[in-house]
A and B are shown apart, each in its own frame.
Chain A
Amino acid sequence: MNAGAALGWWGVPLAVFAGAIRVSTPFLFVSLGEVITEKSGRINLGLEGTLVMGAMAGYAIAYLTLSPWLGVLAAGLAGLALGLLHGGICALPRVNDTAVGIALMLFGTGLAFYLGKPFIAPKAPGLPAIDLGFWSASPQVRAALQINVLFFIGLACAPLLGWGLRHTGIGLTLRMVGESADAARAMGRSPVRVRLLATGFGGCMAGIGGCFLSLGYPGSWNEGLSSGQGITAVALVIFARWRPMACLGASLLFGGAGALGPALQSVGVSGFYHLFNAAPYILTLAILILASRPDRMLGGAPGELSITK
């Protein structure tokens, strides 16, 4: 808070930048995972539950083993399990993926709260951050450039996934299944299997995104940890038109918008604190309204996606 005070108004962009990176990391992981799931033609709305479950599992394992990286692994596995559960249920005939997603959102959150009760008080070791501000004498700049490792992993994942969708057989198969299950079946590919794996991957990424909340920032486990990042990230995927690199941009944009309120507060503008805190949601609505066309379907949507069919 006093960081901004020393730098004056320059503290605002600095705090927004630092906040963008911190807040965007869970968005980034969840949306990248969901891009893969949705590219296969299925939507998983349960990622909010997966995110919370990942946060709890990661924190608990990091606390018990004293290793944050084992925590990340546990979070990924917990997410994978929930993702496979969603994919498995949706593989049954005449099951609606939207309804299953909402059920799993409640299930994941509830399960995490139940299992996470004993871990609310203790302190688990956090994930390391990389100090990119070593060159600066200003403690504010140094603090802002303390960037968590998970962010860099997410940063690397975005172009990697974008490239993989175009240049690998797996990526091509995934897109084919998402665009036309009939075409995939005619080629002897099993859409059900591809979607199961894609949903599992999406869950795994969401779990890792969740453990950033508990092991990175804010860096503790409690029941109010997530404020809907999981479900917002699903909307981000649509906003990003199912492109991994655009997910990166969208996550940073939303992260920055989310950091606006605290940043302004740090320089003493606290009058509209709650209004600025609502910035990401106002931004969501504004973007959706601006991007919508009354007589057009969503461009770039996978052909098999239930919400855009």
Chain B
Amino acid sequence: MEPALEVVGMSKRFGGFAALDAVSLRVAAGGVHALIGENGAGKSTLVKCIMGYYRADAGAVLLAGREVEIRNPREAHRAGIGMVYQHFTLVPAMSVLENLALARGLPRGRIDWRGERARLAGFLATMPFAVPLERPVAALSAGERQKAEILKQLYLDARILILDEPTSVLTPQEADEILTLLRAMARAGQITVMMITHKFREVLAFADTVSVLRRGRLVGGGAVASLDADAMAALMIGEQSVAASAARGTDARGTVRLVLDDLTATDAAGAPALRGVSLSVHGGEIVGIAGVSGNGQSTLVEVLAGQRRARGGRMTVQGEAFHASRREVMRHRIALLPEEPLRNACVAAMSVAENMAFRVFDRPPMARGPLLRRGQIRAAAERLIARYNVRTSSPMAPIGTLSGGNVQRAVLARELGGAVDLLIAANPVFGLDFVAVADIHAQILAARNRGAAVLLVSEDLDELLELADRILVMSEGRITFETTAAEADRRLIGRHMAGHH
């Protein structure tokens, strides 16, 4: 059968860096094709070239065997290619109806909302899933939003749907539901799907064919039936050696280090984000907080980090009241790995050495009275850079110039460089490649094995299942479920993440 979408010899360079190097692939009509690869492997560049966001330096796109020239996303839409982005593109302050009407193009003059509503209702009746039309997008759950994004593309008559990590913000159930629906529509011949993902589970369960990219090159692929997860992982990472997952030390649960008692707080918009969180973390254990993004986890970490004040409740560290002051953090030897470390834990324009000194720059040996000893700061940074394998051109380079993984390593070095009694980490490996992930996971486990209490907040359930001793589920600002990792049931956790209990 003629492939619905074919890419031939696509190349794209950014300066001296080859983001795509002669990539060719074909997607059969009515098929589900998965595009996998590490961060920076060129997946997003490839689909952006197809969609006309970037102009490829070489190569062609063929639709149903015919070459088409796509110079911008509008032409892609006209050719019947729709894309669902990793970040949402619906306008949060507007209703689904307004968003979908806008997607159809700028209506001239007055908008006939009644007619628009009727037309959309008719369209929705032909779809296997629905979303509330009148609700503002901001009030939809992540799953509903993702459905609305997909509906928008289908409403635009997209026959080929490209999805960039469509499930990264969904619960496992929501992800399965949406992928099942998409596959059913593909089977029925209504659409052809190409999706970027990094979850092998989704590739194995939902895709027919797969292409693996590494450093801009197509390094393998074919029918999913002929590959397994290990083979795909080997293709993705190539020859690099990955740190063996650190051995979990014997369970030696120590004394209780962190206690939260009925903690409440509001988010940046003033809405309640924590509605009474109580938990405790003991020395020598990792407590994982699972949950779909936006259920209060970020606020919890902000409160623990001192970035936001609690409205009520108590925080206790090693038996003493805790207010996240610098002095308390120092005394209790607390380490913090917030999400988006460049924004939450670093000053991008200051040097790696200065950033690494943030915790201790004002005391000996780095300070003599009010004066800083830059030589000491630099020497300490050089030790940390070597020990934690931070790749930087110099300790004096601005930390903002480092790659995401190296910023994370630099913060990890600063926080774990000394003795640690309590470690708080939030999505510590988000967006990092295999090598960095294994590295950072090993460091967190090592801290636990040394007797530190670890609170690990993550949106990635697999990460928690691998690292945590206990898993708590956070939903709508409350802890709604608790299980030990040994007895953890993925489906049960997923149900609580979705708010059904």
| A and B interact | yes
Q: Which residues, 225 to 270 on B, are CB-close (under 8 Å) to A?
A: 266, 268-270
Residues B266 and A167 in contact, CB atoms below 8 Å apart:
no
> Known contacts A170-B106, A186-B73, A296-B266: does B111 contact A176 (CB below 8 Å)?
no
Against B, the Cβ 8 Å flags (1 = close, 0 = not) of A138-167 are 000000000000000000000000000001
Q: Check if A265 is an interface residue, CB within 8 A of chain B.
A: no
Least Cβ distance of B166 to chain A in Å? 15
Q: Check if A226 is an interface residue, CB within 8 A of chain B.
A: no
Residues A172 and B101 in contact, CB atoms below 8 Å apart:
yes
> Known contacts A293-B270, A296-B269, A297-B269: does B91 contact A176 (CB below 8 Å)?
yes
Size of the chain B interface, CB-CB below 8 angstroms: 29
Least Cβ distance of A308 to chain B in Å? 11
Against B, the Cβ 8 Å flags (1 = close, 0 = not) of A71-105 are 00000000000000000000000000000000000
Residues A183 and B89 in contact, CB atoms below 8 Å apart:
yes
Residues B89 and A179 in contact, CB atoms below 8 Å apart:
no
Q: Check if B161 is an interface residue, CB within 8 A of chain A.
A: no
Residues B113 and A169 in contact, CB atoms below 8 Å apart:
no
- Expressed in whole angstroms, the Cα–Cα distance for A295 and B271 within the complex equals 9
Q: Check if B397 is an interface residue, CB within 8 A of chain A.
A: no
Q: Check if B72 is an interface residue, CB within 8 A of chain A.
A: yes
Least Cβ distance of B73 to chain A in Å? 6
Q: Check if B93 is an interface residue, CB within 8 A of chain A.
A: yes
Q: Give the most central of B85, B102, B107, B110: most A CB within 10 Å.
A: B102
> Known contacts A173-B106, A188-B73, A296-B268: does B113 contact A167 (CB below 8 Å)?
yes
Among residues of B, the one whose C-beta sits closest to the C-beta of A186 is B89
One of B74, B106, B269, B308 near A169 (C-beta < 8 A): B106
Among residues of A, the one whose C-beta sits closest to the C-beta of B85 is A186
Q: Check if A175 is an interface residue, CB within 8 A of chain B.
A: yes
Q: Check if B109 is an interface residue, CB within 8 A of chain A.
A: yes
One of A167, A180, A302 near B111 (C-beta < 8 A): A167
Q: Which residues, 170 to 200 on A, are CB-close (under 8 Å) to B?
A: 170, 172-173, 175-176, 179-180, 182-183, 185-189
Among residues of B, the one whose C-beta sits closest to the C-beta of A177 is B91
One of A169, A173, A186 near B109 (C-beta < 8 A): A169
Q: Which residues, 92 to 128 on B, are CB-close (under 8 Å) to A?
A: 92-94, 98, 101-103, 106-111, 113
One of B94, B111, B309 near A179 (C-beta < 8 A): B94
Q: Check if A168 is an interface residue, CB within 8 A of chain B.
A: yes
Among residues of B, the one whose C-beta sits closest to the C-beta of A295 is B266
Q: Which residues of B contact A296 (CB under 8 A)?
A: 266, 268-270
Size of the chain A interface, CB-CB below 8 angstroms: 24
- Expressed in whole angstroms, the Cα–Cα distance for A294 and B309 within the complex equals 11
- Expressed in whole angstroms, the Cα–Cα distance for A297 and B270 within the complex equals 7
- Expressed in whole angstroms, the Cα–Cα distance for A299 and B94 within the complex equals 14
One of A169, A172, A175, A295 near B309 (C-beta < 8 A): A295
Q: Check if A303 is an interface residue, CB within 8 A of chain B.
A: yes
Against A, the Cβ 8 Å flags (1 = close, 0 = not) of B45-82 are 00000000000000000000000000011100100000
Q: Which residues of B contact A172 (CB under 8 A)?
A: 94, 98, 101-102, 106, 111
- Expressed in whole angstroms, the Cα–Cα distance for A175 and B107 within the complex equals 14
Among residues of A, the one whose C-beta sits closest to the C-beta of B76 is A188
Q: Which residues of B contact A293 (CB under 8 A)?
A: 270
Residues B94 and A176 in contact, CB atoms below 8 Å apart:
yes
Residues A183 and B91 in contact, CB atoms below 8 Å apart:
yes
One of A180, A182, A188, A302 near B74 (C-beta < 8 A): A188
Q: Which residues of B contact A168 (CB under 8 A)?
A: 107, 109-111
One of B72, B92, B107, B308 near A295 (C-beta < 8 A): B308
Residues A187 and B111 in contact, CB atoms below 8 Å apart:
no
Q: Which residues, 266 to 299 on A, are CB-close (under 8 Å) to B?
A: 293, 295-297, 299
Q: Check if B373 is an interface residue, CB within 8 A of chain A.
A: no
- Expressed in whole angstroms, the Cα–Cα distance for A172 and B107 within the complex equals 9
Least Cβ distance of A71 to chain B in Å? 31
Residues A169 and B89 in contact, CB atoms below 8 Å apart:
no
Among residues of B, the one whose C-beta sits closest to the C-beta of A176 is B91
> Known contacts A172-B102, A188-B73, A295-B308: does B266 contact A180 (CB below 8 Å)?
no
Q: Check if B490 is an interface residue, CB within 8 A of chain A.
A: no
> Known contacts A187-B102, A296-B268: does B109 contact A175 (CB below 8 Å)?
no
> Known contacts A176-B91, A183-B90, A296-B268: does B85 contact A169 (CB below 8 Å)?
no
Q: Which residues of A contact B72 (CB under 8 A)?
A: 188
- Expressed in whole angstroms, the Cα–Cα distance for A242 and B268 within the complex equals 20
Residues B91 and A175 in contact, CB atoms below 8 Å apart:
yes
- Expressed in whole angstroms, the Cα–Cα distance for A13 and B93 within the complex equals 40
Residues A176 and B102 in contact, CB atoms below 8 Å apart:
yes
- Expressed in whole angstroms, the Cα–Cα distance for A111 and B244 within the complex equals 71
Least Cβ distance of B79 to chain A in Å? 13
Q: Which residues of B contact A186 (CB under 8 A)?
A: 73, 85, 89
Q: Which residues of A contact B87 (CB under 8 A)?
A: 182
- Expressed in whole angstroms, the Cα–Cα distance for A189 and B107 within the complex equals 13
Residues A295 and B270 in contact, CB atoms below 8 Å apart:
yes
Among residues of A, the one whose C-beta sits closest to the C-beta of B266 is A295
Q: Which residues of A contact B106 (CB under 8 A)?
A: 169-170, 172-173, 189
Least Cβ distance of A269 to chain B in Å? 41
Residues A179 and B85 in contact, CB atoms below 8 Å apart:
no
Among residues of A, the one whose C-beta sits closest to the C-beta of B103 is A187
Least Cβ distance of B77 to chain A in Å? 8
Q: Which residues of B contact A189 (CB under 8 A)?
A: 106
Residues A180 and B109 in contact, CB atoms below 8 Å apart:
no
Q: Which residues of A contact B109 (CB under 8 A)?
A: 168-169
Q: Which residues of B contact A180 (CB under 8 A)?
A: 89, 91-92
Residues A169 and B111 in contact, CB atoms below 8 Å apart:
yes
Among residues of A, the one whose C-beta sits closest to the C-beta of B73 is A188
Among residues of B, the one whose C-beta sits closest to the C-beta of A300 is B93
- Expressed in whole angstroms, the Cα–Cα distance for A172 and B91 within the complex equals 11
Residues A167 and B102 in contact, CB atoms below 8 Å apart:
no
- Expressed in whole angstroms, the Cα–Cα distance for A183 and B94 within the complex equals 12
> Known contacts A295-B270, A297-B268, A297-B269: does B102 contact A173 (CB below 8 Å)?
yes
Among residues of A, the one whose C-beta sits closest to the C-beta of B72 is A188
Least Cβ distance of A120 to chain B in Å? 45
- Expressed in whole angstroms, the Cα–Cα distance for A167 and B110 within the complex equals 6
> Known contacts A168-B110, A169-B109, A186-B85: does B91 contact A179 (CB below 8 Å)?
yes
Q: Which residues of A contact B74 (CB under 8 A)?
A: 188
Q: Which residues, 363 to 402 on B, are CB-close (under 8 Å) to A?
A: none
Among residues of A, the one whose C-beta sits closest to the C-beta of B309 is A295
Q: Give the most central of B93, B110, B269: most A CB within 10 Å.
A: B93
- Expressed in whole angstroms, the Cα–Cα distance for A172 and B109 within the complex equals 11
One of A170, A173, A179, A295 near B93 (C-beta < 8 A): A179
Q: Which residues of A contact B110 (CB under 8 A)?
A: 167-168
Among residues of A, the one whose C-beta sits closest to the C-beta of B75 is A188
- Expressed in whole angstroms, the Cα–Cα distance for A186 and B158 within the complex equals 14
Q: Which residues of A contact B93 (CB under 8 A)?
A: 175, 179, 302-303
Given A176-B91, A295-B309: 12 more A-B contacts, CB < 8 Å = A169-B109, A169-B111, A170-B106, A172-B94, A172-B102, A172-B111, A175-B93, A179-B91, A180-B91, A186-B89, A293-B270, A303-B93
Q: Would you mind naming 11 contact pairs between A and B with Cβ atoms under 8 Å apart? A: A167-B113, A168-B110, A169-B102, A169-B106, A175-B93, A180-B92, A187-B89, A189-B106, A297-B270, A299-B269, A299-B270
9 smallest A-B Cβ distances: which pairs?
A296-B270, A188-B74, A169-B107, A169-B106, A179-B91, A186-B89, A183-B89, A179-B93, A183-B91
